[in-house]
Chain A
Amino acid sequence: MPRTSKNRTKPQKQKQSAITKDERWLHFYRQMLKIRLFEEEVNQLYLGASMPGLAHLYIGQEAVAVGVCEALRQEDYITSTHRGHGHCLAKGASLDKMFAELLGKAAGYCRGKGGSMHIADQETGNLGANAIVGGSAGIATGAAMSIKMRGSDQVAVCFFGDGALGQGLLYETMNMASLWKLPVIYVCENNQYNEYTHFSETTAGEVTPRAAAFGIHTESVDGQDVRTVHATAQKLAERARRGDGPAFLECLTYRFHGHHVGDIDRTYYRSKKEEEEWKSQRDPVKLLANWLEKNKLADGKLFQRIENEIATEIKDAVNFALNAPYPQAEEVDQDVYA
């Protein structure tokens, strides 16, 4: 859904504007649910041995991707992570090409050469998921440098997890982003776990003061509340577009599933009770649904309709991907060089 400032219509009347806003929250709900159902399907594909390799599910963190990406325009850039399906979809990727890529098919976003951890989509400004933790900090910062040099008002968003806080590259590039006032937003999705280790065991001191030490504007928000994430991201994106430089947004969130789809027994690093608490009380999709219901913007019937619609889209997309051909053998050494 392209939304450039140019084609965004000005609110004509107060009432009309309010309706648009309400519809927007429903759109957020739809986007989050789409990611949720997409990932549940990925899990099924993996369990059914239809999907090669690994998948790192985004379930539980949907509010971050949607809240942030809804503050961006199509031409804005994002860099993503190994847990990146949510970012791709939130930035506008289509379900069929996503599934096709996950299954290693030629119709996938990367012609089956990237897979789950490397989905990139130039058309939606997605510079690629990255399987090196923290590895895209340079790319996002470089994209921001390019934006500034080209005199564009785009912004670049670098998504990374709490695990990336251990990587030096992040600090090198934040330093330069601040020195040169680059339009980049570092979004730390703190889901509390560096793979199988709680981040408190790996992360000394505090998180946001690390960025603040570089003179970077920082915010820390409830990453399960999409409306808060979005409002903050919107503010930071506007700041960056104005030329006020980089920002660091910590979103406190939780990975409902394991590190990857095969990480089933997790009790040695976190309790079932903890997982249940997050799932029952801090589910970002449910939290938004509750808010929508409370504000009489949706009801059970509407939620069901939306879910049915998305389920159909996903079913169609999976069927497309399952039936799509694999790449030709001779493609193996194509596109090594441009």
Chain B
Amino acid sequence: MAAKLQDTTATTTIREITFGQAIKEALAEEMRRDPTVFIIGEDVAEAGTPFKVLSGLVKEFGTQRVIDSPISEAGIAGIGVGAAMTGMRPVVDIMFGDFITLTMDQLVNQAAKIHYMSGGKLKVPMVLRTTLGASRRSAAQHSQSLHAWASHIPGLKVVVPSTPYDAKGLLKSAIRDDNPVVFFEDKMMYQLKGPVPAEEYTISLGVADVKRVGSDITFVATSSMVHVALAAAETLSGSGVSVEVVDVRTTAPLDKQTIVDSVKKTSRAIVIDEGYERYGVTAEIASVIADGAFYYLDAPVKRMGAMDVPVPFSPVLEDQTVPTPEAVAEMAKMLCNKQ
């Protein structure tokens, strides 16, 4: 897919880098730019995280700014909140998205509410980076996509990037944002390559991106599922179905306008997300479509999320739990009466 450079001003030198490299570049650039930015988390320094995303940062910035913490998710989230309230811009690294459950009080009751509860006086400019995504054969406690949890809470912003380009630009904005931002990275995507300008750029939070233009049906997708949507769209083009793919990029704030505009044009929609389908991101977005484009719809809005089961270990079982391009294409054909 072509990199969209809408937020980039100058002419650019495009390189192919991985999603992981894009994350690291964003962090390094922001740490150079602003001495108050620091990283704290488990095995973030010399180890560079188990995913090696941060490898090398400690060499440039030292252990005072790339801080290895004990295995204390609640504690480091809380320390992040306090540091953010008092002049720093911490980036808290929570290794697996499943572990944000351990940070919930600090995230939900503290970070998200402090600005409001203080009548707008105190601010929490903190980023909490974590992962999402199944299919790594890691079983039920290392495979969940819990971004709906954070998206539910007023006061938090939530980013779910799908490409190296988006990841870098969005992370830079997240670090500069004066609010707590939860940044979910699909751990299966760290090696994914994509075009990224060498020059500085940022991407605003709350702006969706049309990743593919089409006319028959809209796939609204997040993070990992953008690639599933794009693969399904490619297959469907062979069957004469023209698909528009909207990547929401941030679930909070949610760019409702872009989603609704697309569905008004195509009249059909499938919402695809790797979180549990029940009470999930897909439900919220489907409701946005129903509210905003009801009279334009030619078919019911369909939702495809992770199966409502704990993520199983066995590959045979795990592979059933996440939407696939085949399943999405099948559903699209049904909605477009192409079966």
Binding site for B on A (CB under 8 A): 77, 79, 108-114, 118, 120-122, 127-128, 130, 132, 135-147, 149-150, 156, 168-169, 172-173, 175-176, 179, 334-338
Contacts and interface: CB of A to CB of B under 8 A. Distances in A.
Given A132-B110, A172-B74, A139 B81 contact: yes
A114 B118 contact: yes
B36 to A, nearest CB: 8
B293 interface: no
Contact of B119 (A77, A109, A143): A109
A217 B65 CA distance: 26
Contacts of A120: 114, 117-118, 121-122
A122 B122 contact: yes
Nearest to A132: B109
Contacts of A335: 115-116, 119-120
A111 to B, nearest CB: 3
16 contacts: A113-B118, A114-B118, A114-B119, A120-B114, A122-B122, A135-B109, A138-B79, A138-B106, A139-B78, A142-B82, A142-B85, A145-B88, A146-B82, A176-B75, A335-B120, A337-B115
B315 interface: no
B209 interface: no
A135 B82 contact: no
Interface residues of B, number: 42
A213 B125 CA distance: 33
B77 interface: yes
A334 B120 contact: yes
B122 A128 contact: yes
A112 B86 CA distance: 23
A118 B117 contact: yes
B78 A141 contact: yes
A132 B78 CA distance: 13
Nearest to B157: A337
B154 A142 contact: no
Interface of B: 36, 38, 64, 69-70, 72, 74-88, 90, 105-106, 109-110, 114-123, 125, 154-155, 157, 178-179
A113 B118 CA distance: 7
Contact of B122 (A127, A138, A144, A173): A127
A114 B117 contact: yes
Given A109-B119, A110-B118, A143 B109 contact: no
A130 to B, nearest CB: 8
* Interface-centre pick from A142, A146, A150 (highest chain B CB count, 10 A): A142
Contact of A142 (B64, B72, B86, B109): B86
A140 B81 CA distance: 9
Contacts of B105: 132, 135, 169
Contacts of B77: 138
A143 B120 contact: no
Nearest to A169: B74
B118 A118 contact: yes
